[in-house]
């Protein structure tokens, strides 16, 4: 008898403990849900909002006559998608393709393409308060695509700007 009551109490306590918000995250603070990935030796992140999916890079067909930043086209379940190397925009060194390469497919109403990631590190929730707007040395296209930088130097890119940038369109 006694023990079952005790059990019930223990369970209730546990339930309460589990229901409590984990520490460090305050309820009213906003968070960015991002995919974190590597470009060369740097860590970058993109908000989930414009990401359709992440797809392994298996076979890439280069297209002659396209600008440097267009790596080529791939077959995603019967659909042809172009792949962009944003490292070119930030003058990051090329790493060569490995089996770790993944494609982050971005989409909006008018646009759809993939960007090449050297490695995907996973998804993460970043508290908005830890994001710094920018750095004084980041100008030009570096500033255009930047949403912010975190304290541990993950560069958060602005997916919205990237998909809606007309410079991306080859015509």
Partner 1 sequence: MNEEELLKKLREAFSGEADERLASLSSSLLDLEKGGGGEDKARALEVAFREAHSLKGAARSVNLTEIETICQAIEGVFAAMKRDEVSLSAGLFDLLHHCVRAIEDSLSASEGGGPDQIGELATLVSRLQEVKAGKEMKGSKRIPKEEPKAKGQKKSPPEKIEEKPREEEREKEEPAKEKPAPKPQLSQEVRESQRKPLASESVRISTAKLDLLFLKAEELVSLKLASGQHLADLKEIVRSIEIWNKRWGEIGPELRALNRMAQEGDGWDNLSGFLDWNHDFIRSLGKEIWGLTKGAEREGHTLGLMVDDLLDDMKRVTMLPFSTLLNIFPRMIREISRDQGKEVDLLIEGGDVEIDRRILEEMRDPITHLLRNSIDHGLEAPEKREKQGKPRSGTIHMNVSQTEGGKVKILIADDGVGIDLAQVKKKAASLGVMTKQEIEQLDDRDALSLILESGVSTSPIITEISGRGLGLAIAQEKVQKLGGLLSLDTAPGRGTSFRMELPVTIATFRGILVQVADRFFIVPSSNMDRTLRVHRDEIKTVENRATIPLNGKALSLVDLARVFGLNQEKDNSAGNGFLTVVVLGAGERRIAFRVDAVLGEQEVLVKSLGKQLKSVPNISGATILGSGRVVPILNVNDLLTSSPDASVQAPGLKAAEGEGEKKSILVAEDSITSRMLIKSILEGAGYLVKTAVDGSEAYTTLKTGEFDLVVSDVEMPKLDGFGLTKKIRSDKKYSEIPVILVTGLETQKDREKGIDAGANAYIVKSSFDQSNLLEVIKRMI
Q: Is 24 in the site for partner 1 (CB under 8 A)?
A: no
How many whole angstroms separate alpha carbon 145 and alpha carbon 46?
10
Contact with partner 1 (CB under 8 A): which of 17, 18, 19, 169?
A: 169
Total chain residues near partner 1 (CB under 8 A)? 28
Q: How far is the CB of 59 from partner 1 (least distance, A)?
A: 6
For partner 1, the binding residues in 44-63 under the rule CB under 8 A are 59, 61-63
SS3 50: helix
SS3 59: coil
How many whole angstroms separate alpha carbon 135 and alpha carbon 128?
17
Q: How far is the CB of 74 from partner 1 (least distance, A)?
A: 7
Do the beta carbons of residue 62 and residue 116 sit within 8 Å? no
- Based on its alpha-carbon atoms, the radius of gyration of the chain, rounded to whole angstroms, reads 21
Site track 96-125 with partner 1 (rule: CB under 8 A), x = hit: --------------xxxx------------
User: Per-residue DSSP letters for 10-39?
Assistant: HHHHHHHHHHSPPTT--TT--EEEEEEEEE
Q: Which is nearer to partner 1, 38 or 111 (CB)?
A: 111
Q: How far is the CB of 30 from partner 1 (least distance, A)?
A: 25
Nearest to 66 by CA among 53, 85, 50: 85
Site track 61-80 with partner 1 (rule: CB under 8 A), x = hit: xxxxxx---x--xxx-xxxx
Contact residues for partner 1, defined by CB under 8 A: 59, 61-66, 70, 73-75, 77-82, 84, 110-113, 164, 166, 168-171
């Amino acid at each position: 008898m006694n023990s079952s009551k005790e059990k019930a109490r223990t369970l209730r306590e546990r339930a309460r403990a589990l229901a409590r918000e984990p520490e460090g995250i305050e309820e009213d603070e906003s968070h960015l849900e991002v995919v974190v990935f590597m470009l060369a030796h740097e860590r970058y992140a993109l908000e989930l909002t414009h990401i359709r999916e992440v797809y392994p890079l298996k076979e890439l067909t280069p297209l002659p006559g396209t600008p440097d930043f267009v790596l080529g086209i791939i077959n995603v379940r019967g659909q042809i998608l172009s792949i962009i190397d944003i490292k070119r925009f930030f003058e990051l060194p090329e790493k060569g393709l490995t089996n770790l390469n993944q494609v982050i497919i971005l989409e909006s109403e008018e646009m759809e393409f993939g960007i090449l990631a050297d490695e995907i590190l996973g998804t993460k929730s970043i508290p908005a308060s830890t994001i710094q707007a920018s750095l004084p040395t980041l100008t030009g296209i570096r500033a255009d695509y930047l949403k912010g930088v975190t304290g541990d130097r993950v560069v958060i890119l602005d997916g919205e700007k990237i998909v809606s940038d007309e410079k991306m369109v080859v015509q």
